[in-house]
C-alpha cells in the first residue's frame, strides 16, 4: 500500500509539535480522536482531540530554540487493513524525547489519526 499520505500527515505532526501549531495539529487528527499517556502519578491521561490541539498550541517559553534541536523519526508504518495503519514515531519536544504510536483510519476517504499512545523520557 502507498504510505505517502500517511507520511505527509506524520510530517505535519512533526512540524506542528516543533512549532507549537494548533492549526497544523488539528489537520492530523480525526474528530473524536483520543490521546493516551501516563499522568504525573502514573494514572491514565486521556485527552480528546480538541484539548490536545489546544495544549499543543499553548505557547511554550523560548520554543522553538536552537538548543531544542529537532529529532523526528518515522520508525515504522504498518498497514493493518485497507483503511487502518499504525505508525511508530520518535520526536523531541523541548527537553523530552517522545515515542508515539499513531493509529490511523481512513474515514470518508481521508486518512487521520484516531488514537495516539505516547511515552516520553527526559533529554539530558
pLDDT value for 124: 77
| Intra-chain end-to-end CA distance of the chain, in Å | 38
- Domains, the chain, in order of start with CATH, read 4-122 (3.10.450.50)
Residues 38, 45 contacting (CB under 8 angstroms): yes
Handedness of CA 35, 51, 97, 42 (dihedral sign): negative
Half-sphere exposure (Cβ direction) of 19: Cα atoms closer than 13 Å = 11
Low-confidence ranges of the chain (pLDDT < 50): none
- Helix H or strand E segment including 26: helix 22-28
> What does the pLDDT read at residue 63?
61
pLDDT of residue 34: 98
CA–CA separation, 83 vs 80, rounded Å?
8
pTM for the whole thing? 0.92
* Residue-wise pLDDT tens digits, 66-102: 667 889 999 999 999 999 999 999 999 888 999 999 9
Amino acid at each position: 500500500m502507498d504510505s505517502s499520505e500517511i507520511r505527509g500527515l506524520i510530517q505535519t505532526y512533526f512540524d506542528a509539535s516543533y512549532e507549537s501549531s494548533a492549526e497544523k495539529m488539528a489537520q492530523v487528527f480525526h474528530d473524536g480522536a483520543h490521546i493516551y499517556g501516563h499522568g504525573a502519578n502514573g494514572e491514565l491521561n486521556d485527552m480528546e482531540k480538541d484539548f490536545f490541539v489546544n495544549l499543543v498550541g499553548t505557547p511554550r517559553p523560548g520554543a522553538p530554540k536552537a538548543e531544542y534541536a529537532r529529532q523526528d523519526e518515522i520508525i515504522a508504518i504498518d498497514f493493518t487493513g485497507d483503511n487502518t495503519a499504525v505508525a511508530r514515531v520518535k520526536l523531541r519536544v523541548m527537553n523530552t524525547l517522545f515515542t508515539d504510536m499513531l493509529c490511523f483510519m481512513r474515514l470518508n476517504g481521508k486518512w487521520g489519526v484516531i488514537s495516539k499512545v505516547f511515552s516520553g523520557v527526559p533529554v539530558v
